[in-house]
Amino acid sequence: MSLTAEHPDIARYKAEKRSAPPAILNADDLRRLMEEAGADDCGFVDVADPALAGQAGLIKTLLPSAKTALSFVCRMNRETVRSTVRSAVNQEFHQTYDEVNIVAHKAVRALEDKGITALNPAAAFPMEAQSFPANMQTISHKPIAEAAGLGRMGLHRNVIHPRFGNFILLGTILIDRPVSAYTAPLDYAPCLDCKLCVAACPVEAIGHDGSFNFSACYTHNYREFLGGFNDWIHEVVEAKDAEDYDRRVPPGESVSMWQSLSFKPGYKAAYCVSVCPAGSDVLGPFIEDRSAYRERILGPLLAKTETIFVLEGSDAEETVPARFKNKQLKRVDWSITADNPFSFLFGLTLTFQRRKARGLDASLHLVIEDQGPLHAGITVRNRRVEIGFAASETPDTVLTLSWQTLLDIFEGKEDLADAVKTGTARIEGDEETVFAIRACFPRYKTRGEEV
């Protein structure tokens, strides 16, 4: 049948009277819609807001016609998250993630029924895995939530809602039209600066000064997510036989990995969320009796007997035995691979170890001679690292080598000193600077090695 004829569906479409959707959505109506869908709070941001500039490309890819980013939160049950029983905690996380996705699905369906174009990216998983090892994000919910006034990030890098604290998970909906009234960011930080998250983190990923050791958090807390899964696969492949595998991977770890693969991945810690007392609905017990709060909430987490996963040569490898006599240390691999010098240098910012940089004030001009050559500057100062794709004006030393040699040194296949002796790496200037900067980054471990 030709479309020029009266197809029954076309005839029905023409016969139905449809009211045109509003050009601008009413903020109060949109908030009621989100409440009916099950959200605990929501806010609205113009996608042209400078706070979202870093996500412009992601937003355009998801919904080219997007005008508004709607951010919303769903609450988690606090006492469940505070439990030392990881299966209970992980179930709460995953159930709430499911709830966030269901709320977003319901809301987008309601908007669609009104003739409004909207899209809801996943709250957490899956990501764009085919892009690995490049950015796998579809959207970053935290900065959108901050811009929408749903909270501010605390010392622990979690968004803290002014009422519900950090016991929330975030969702985002993109809409193809503006809203009558956008919400404003909070004019204060709900974080109480109590440093309980610093005390609770078993790998000291959170610094008192606001610094954050990404690799420490990623290596331990996300052991059964992508990074740890890759390392575990290597253990399986490299094991000579079942006995060798059992030596490398204790039965409890194998079962835990099976559980994560079967029932969604499990977080190993997330203790920073558990202990956070911020938020008007949460802070009462902490304000009334801080000692009792620490004893009830923080104490059991510190006393918990568990395996802590660390990178060899990392700060965590040094600090965990000193802090926790009841926790077993296990060295594992850093498994975010770098397939080019640019991603490698970015990876250095993720694996920098602040404790190893104590007292170091040095700059290195790195020359990767078979990549252009590519010039990069690595500066370590005040226990922080800065990396740029240009040499420092007055570097302390120059290191020249090939891309493969650089990879081999950081992957533990070749020692830096041996590379210098054989001439595969050449140093001009202070040799000690090169070795000191190299020591600020972890080494690969010998597989199956426990401490």
Q: CATH code at 95?
A: 3.40.109
Which position has the token pair 């395996």?
A: 307
- DSSP code per residue over 206-243: B-TTS-B-HHHHHHHHTTTSHHHHHHHHHHHHH-SSHH
Q: Are residues 137 and 267 in the same domain?
A: no
Report the number of distinct structural domains present in the chain. 3
State CA 123 to chain mean position distance. Answer: 13
Q: Are residues 221 and 167 in the same domain?
A: no
In a domain? residue 183: no
Q: Are residues 29 and 122 in the same domain?
A: yes
Q: CATH code at 345?
A: 3.30.1050.10
pLDDT in tens, 384-394: 999 998 877 78
For strands 168-175 and 362-368, give the pairing. Answer: unpaired
In a domain? residue 2: no
Q: Are residues 27 and 170 in the same domain?
A: yes
Give the pLDDT band (50/70/90) at residue 105.
very high
Give the pLDDT band (50/70/90) at residue 23.
very high
Q: Are residues 38 and 166 in the same domain?
A: yes
pLDDT in tens, 162-192: 999 999 999 999 999 999 999 999 999 999 9
Q: Are residues 122 and 201 in the same domain?
A: no
pLDDT at 297: 98
Q: Are residues 208 and 321 in the same domain?
A: yes
pLDDT in tens, 259-304: 999 988 899 999 999 999 999 999 999 999 999 999 999 999 999 9
pLDDT at 213: 94
In a domain? residue 73: yes
Give the pLDDT band (50/70/90) at residue 444.
low
Pick from 175, 206, 236: which residue ends a domain? 175
pLDDT at 125: 67
Structure tokens belonging to residue 312: 């060899």
Q: Which pairs with CB-CB distance under 8 Å and at least 24 residues apart come from 6-15?
A: none
In a domain? residue 319: yes
Pick from 175, 210, 236: which residue ends a domain? 175
Q: Are residues 76 and 148 in the same domain?
A: yes
In a domain? residue 413: yes
Give the pLDDT band (50/70/90) at residue 449.
very low
In a domain? residue 447: no
Q: Are residues 296 and 369 in the same domain?
A: no
For strands 397-401 and 425-429, give the pairing. Answer: antiparallel
Question: What domain range includes position 132?
Answer: 20-175
Q: Are residues 161 and 66 in the same domain?
A: yes
pLDDT in tens, 215-250: 999 999 999 987 788 889 989 999 999 999 999 999
Q: Are residues 376 and 434 in the same domain?
A: yes
Q: Are residues 69 and 115 in the same domain?
A: yes
Pick from 332, 349, 366: which residue ends a domain? 332
In a domain? residue 278: yes
